Chains A and B, each alone.
Chain A
Amino acid sequence: MPQSPTIRTSLGFVLVAAVCLVFADLAITSINPWLEMGRLLRGVVTPDFSSPGQIGTALLRTVAFAFVGVGLGAAAGFVLSLLFRFRIVRMVCAFVRAIHELFWALIFLQFFGLHPLTGVLAIAIPYAGIFGKVYSEILDEADPTPARILPRRVGVLSRFLFARIPDAWPHLRSYTSYRLECGLRSSAILGFVGMPTLGFYLESAFGEGHYDHVGALLLVFYILIAALRLWVRSRLVPLYMLAAPFFLGTGLPIAWGQAVRFFTEDIVPNPIRQGEGLVALWQWFADLMVNQALPGIGATIVLTQIALVATGALSLLAFPLISRHFTGRITGTLGHTLLVIARTTPEYLLAYILLQLWGPSMLPAVVALAVHNAGIIGHLIGRRSNEISLRPGAAQGRLERYGYEVLPRVYGPFLAFLFYRWEIIMRETAILGILGITTLGFYVDSAINELRFDRAMVLIVITALLNIGVDTLARRLRARLRLRHSPTCES
């Protein structure tokens, strides 16, 4: 059976996911899932806007944290991108972006407490790592000739500002604005660990069963993101940046004693703190590995692989919704709205909602990851398919057109985008553990709740290394299958 390497790789992934299904717990455990789901849907379609002050505060804080966090991240990332030729800088960037915003928040909560700094740094640090990498790629792609032909005596700064920045600027700007959208989602989610953003209000509305409040909050958030291009104008951004720090709220003051203790005592492995020697340290570590890290890694990989294949399948079903080869004007608009909702809803939020409805298992996580990521990939592939012009008289039936004309042409970019999301899906999978699914995040969260920060830190580092490993694997696969993909086309 002659098969292309692309098809073989795809089948390999499906096979791995099938094996993972054997180990996955996908049951719906709540007693009456559909009743609760009906109540939620009713709440979403009959939103309650009776407390505009609360909704306004939630949005204002969400926007403020996003602007300050992304702004600091972009500034730091820009500096890092200039130093990106140094191996150590590349490694630091890879490491900080391999740790999810929520993990950073959980760490900073321990020493800054509920101070705004916790939320700001939780966004700024991983984003700096991402910006550093992507900015340096953008700058590398700029035409080197203008700089080359300048006389040697031209200063470094003039050379950079005249010959490098101007042509890279549109790309830097569009990538930064795409990241701002991600930042708004990150900021909203930080509410789930206590920051005063959207997630905080959503969680309490959920807890009290006020689904109409949930509906109102979600609706306003969708509008905020859908209208991003209208209210984020380049002339207004400096104004927003200056104003944002004043709208973060005051939070609680930082207890500096706590901060010092965190570094000098809390994160030092317990056996060392007690002076029990190397043997005890080894036992502590082995115990942590066998009882927490390995089961956590196992569950994280199982969930990631299933979610990855589910995302792929759903993306291939979703992209025709916005492709002009399959939809008309009205159906296209409808499809667009559906995909915008799917990608605007943070996967963490979706998983949280589905867990409330279906009870704890991997199913809500798989569905949440697949819906959110398929919303993104479907959007990108749909747009790509619109660039294809079919020859007149090409396959008339929609199914034939899909199978013979469109799918073969977009399958390469599709795989490239999917592999790019692989690391992101894994990072998200780990974090969903906080909601009670036994991935690595579950063990991190439990360790923090038990005030065993030494264990939490080791587990977070393991999570980061796992992400870096998957990222490397994805890059190798992309190179082997000759899939070209630049992350800047995401915007």
Chain B
Amino acid sequence: MAGLSLRSASAAYGGQRVLDPITLTIEVGEQVALVGRSGAGKSTLLSLLFDAERSDISYMPQELGLVHALSVFHNVYMGRLSAHASWYNIANLVWPFRHEVEAVEAVLEPLAMAPKLWSPVGELSGGQRQRTAVARTVYQDAGILLADEPVSALDGPQAHNVMRTLTSHYATAVLAMHDVELALRYTNRVVGIDEGRIALDEPAAELSPEDLLPLYRGETA
């Protein structure tokens, strides 16, 4: 399995450039934290990485992309839709198979979401939705993870729990983070984005939270 790479990719919304031409390569085994102020272009970069490849990738966007009318079970199951035939998926939509339910439950258990198995996602809190999306990603079991602020709605212990879960399931991952401490602790490479360009690219082990402060003050230019 190969990693991911972008060559001189740029993006613009409504005529305004949000991302300068960026060249970025993610090797297998790298767990990358994308850091930077909000609006710096992290989400756009993740979206570009996803559109460039789109196979064997699990993508967890900031808006999560959950189907609100469906239960937690069905949303998690959607992670593996491509592993089954259409008739099987449809049968499972109407009348879930026992072994599929058990498999999904096993993923929900460590995230403390098992009791919500049959709740419609629309009735969940923000944190529960985020953990449902995390469970879908874990269940999908793809080669690479792209996640945009995967713990933004979670409190301390839960945030650590989710970061541990994600990084132990995905050896190769790109995570957009705003929590610098979490980023340094759970990833091995940090890419700092400022005003649409890469302002910093270092191994996490060589960085301290203070090293990232300029990114948030706009002092890198």
User: CB within 8 A of A166: which of B63, B69, B90?
Assistant: B69
Say yes or no: A167-B89 contact (C-beta < 8 A), given A151-B55, A152-B54, A154-B82.
no
- Chain B, residues 84-95, CB within 8 Å of chain A (1/0): the string is 111001100100
CB distance from B183 to the nearest CB of A (A): 23
A158 touches B86 (CB 8 A): yes
CB distance from B179 to the nearest CB of A (A): 23
Chain A contacts for B131, CB-based, 8 A? none
A162 touches B61 (CB 8 A): no
A153 within 8 A of B: yes
* Secondary structure of the A contact surface, majority rule: helix
A161 touches B54 (CB 8 A): no
A169 touches B69 (CB 8 A): yes
- Size category of the binding interface on chain A: 20 to 34
What is the bound-complex CA distance between A149 and B82, given in angstroms? 12
Chain B contacts for A150, CB-based, 8 A? 78, 81-82
CB distance from B90 to the nearest CB of A (A): 6
User: CB within 8 A of A159: which of B66, B70, B81, B93?
Assistant: B81
Chain A contacts for B81, CB-based, 8 A? 150-151, 154-155, 158-159, 162
User: CB within 8 A of B65: which of A148, A151, A152, A169?
Assistant: A148
Chain B contacts for A159, CB-based, 8 A? 81
User: CB within 8 A of A146: which of B78, B93, B142?
Assistant: B78
- Chain B, residues 45-70, CB within 8 Å of chain A (1/0): the string is 00000100011110111011111111
Q: How many residues of B contact A (CB 8 A)?
A: 28
A277 within 8 A of B: no
Say yes or no: A153-B70 contact (C-beta < 8 A), given A146-B78, A161-B90.
no
A3 within 8 A of B: no
A145 touches B93 (CB 8 A): no
B74 within 8 A of A: yes
B67 touches A151 (CB 8 A): no
What is the bound-complex CA distance between A155 and B67, given in angstroms? 17
Chain B contacts for A148, CB-based, 8 A? 65
B86 touches A149 (CB 8 A): no
What is the bound-complex CA distance between A148 and B69, given in angstroms? 17
A399 within 8 A of B: no
Most A CB contacts (10 A, CB to CB) among B55, B57, B86, B90 go to B86
Say yes or no: A162-B67 contact (C-beta < 8 A), given A150-B78, A150-B82.
yes
List residues of A whose CB falls within 8 A of some B CB: 143, 145-146, 148-155, 157-159, 161-163, 166-167, 169-170
Q: Enumerate the 3 nearest inter-chain pairs by beta-carbon distance, A residue then B residue, closest first.
A: A145-B65, A166-B69, A153-B82
List residues of B whose CB falls within 8 A of some A CB: 50, 54-57, 59-61, 63-70, 74, 78, 81-82, 84-86, 89-90, 93, 140, 142
A-B contact pairs, 30 of them (CB 8 A): A146-B65, A146-B66, A146-B78, A149-B59, A149-B61, A150-B78, A151-B82, A151-B142, A152-B55, A153-B55, A153-B82, A154-B82, A155-B81, A155-B89, A157-B90, A158-B84, A158-B86, A158-B89, A159-B81, A161-B89, A162-B70, A162-B74, A162-B78, A162-B89, A166-B67, A166-B68, A166-B69, A166-B70, A167-B68, A169-B69
